[in-house]
Amino acid sequence: MNKKLGLLYDSRYFDHTIDQFSPENPDRIRHLYATIQDTYADRYQMFSPREATLEDIKAVHSSFYIQQIREHAVQADPYSYDRDTYLMQDSFVTALLAAGGCLEIADSIMDGKIGSGFALIRPPGHHAETGRGMGFCILNNIGITAKYLQKKYHLSRILIIDFDVHHGNGTQEVFYDTDQVLFISLHQKGLFPFSGAPEEIGKEKGVGYTINLPVYPQFGDCEYTYLVGRMLQSVVEQYMPQIILVSAGFDGHCDDNISGTHLSTYWYGMVTTMLKQYARDSCDSRLMFILEGGYNPLSLEHSILATLDSFLAPEIPRVGIMYTERADRILINHPLREYWTI
Ligand SMILES: [Zn+2]
């Protein structure tokens, strides 16, 4: 039986804003929030964020970097820290609410109050490294969440899937040397931040616990579904995670011109169904999505609604996986085969 879905959103996520054009702006999610309230009323449990504490964020970020964000957020040049990550008066607090919102959902999943949840937050987080923000990201929300789950609930096998079209370099960096977090990223090859090659597999105890699948821009639903179904399902069965966290970026959508990837709205619903199945089979359905990218507000909204529909579906239909040679070629000779059977 399906437990309730938790959704977290809050108008304070509009406060991180700048009076110049940036693809990462409050209009990404403004209409989405209204639609969710109108369309899905009573079908989910709503959550409000708390601010992450200094201790929470220090589990990932250096004190020096945190001090820098605070200082730069009040300077005259909002891009003084990074050329695409602006910092304004309210940016630090909004970033704390973004990270804290994730912790709120994580607590409720661990307490069993909800089965799965989606933190509809901004600014995004997966590019933020321990010592610097970048790519619209200030604090690494998913990294902070995983660290929090380790500390508070003593989890030792957390799976992070990142299907944002960009590589989750920040998250990778945080967990590069550990086997207690398995980080898997599917992303478009040759795109910002230009990391995430298959050879990046982790170090020390973490060798084999970072898996990067850079894919070609022409790839779409068929190839992505094949990669998830062929690789992820087997890896989940072997790792048996205690929770699955998802860096859910929707910028690989065919209508999002930040990338050339051809994913459809429908695919985001389909991958949610697949992840629900893997979570049911491995970790009592504990599944948490955290919003990352998605810069066309319309395709972002439609894709998130497709995701919610899959979350709310009472059954988990079987997703058909079609063989595709060009996707299979990514897996042939991939270094992950040294550590995992696929
Ligand atoms: Zn992205």
Domain count of the fold of the chain: 1
Q: How far apart are the first and last CA of the chain?
A: 30
Asked if pLDDT for residue 1 goes beyond 80, the answer is no
Query: pTM for the complete prediction?
Result: 0.98
Domain that holds residue 285: 5-338
* pLDDT score recorded for residue 115: 93
Domain of residue 230, CATH code: 3.40.800.20
* 127 classed as catalytic: yes
- Helix (H/G/I), strand (E/B), else coil: 77: coil
**Catalytic-role residue among 16, 61, 126, 127:** 127
Give residue 184's identity as a one-letter amino acid code: I
- Residue 247 CA, ligand 1 centroid: distance in Å: 10
Phi/psi for 237 (5° steps) reads: -60, -35
Region 222-226 average pLDDT? 97
Q: What is the pLDDT of residues 248-297, one digit of tens each?
A: 999 999 999 999 999 999 999 999 999 999 999 999 999 999 999 999 99
Computed over every residue of the chain, the mean pLDDT equals: 96
In the structure, what pLDDT confidence band is assigned to residue 76 with cuts at 50, 70 and 90? confident
- Residue 39 CA, ligand 1 centroid: distance in Å: 27
**Listed residue (147, 128, 129) closest to 138, CA to CA:** 128
d(CA 182, CA 282): 14
d(CA 126, CA 102): 13
In the structure, what pLDDT confidence band is assigned to residue 2 with cuts at 50, 70 and 90? low
* pLDDT score recorded for residue 196: 98
Q: What is the pLDDT of residues 117-165, one digit of tens each?
A: 999 999 999 999 999 999 999 999 999 999 999 999 999 999 999 999 9
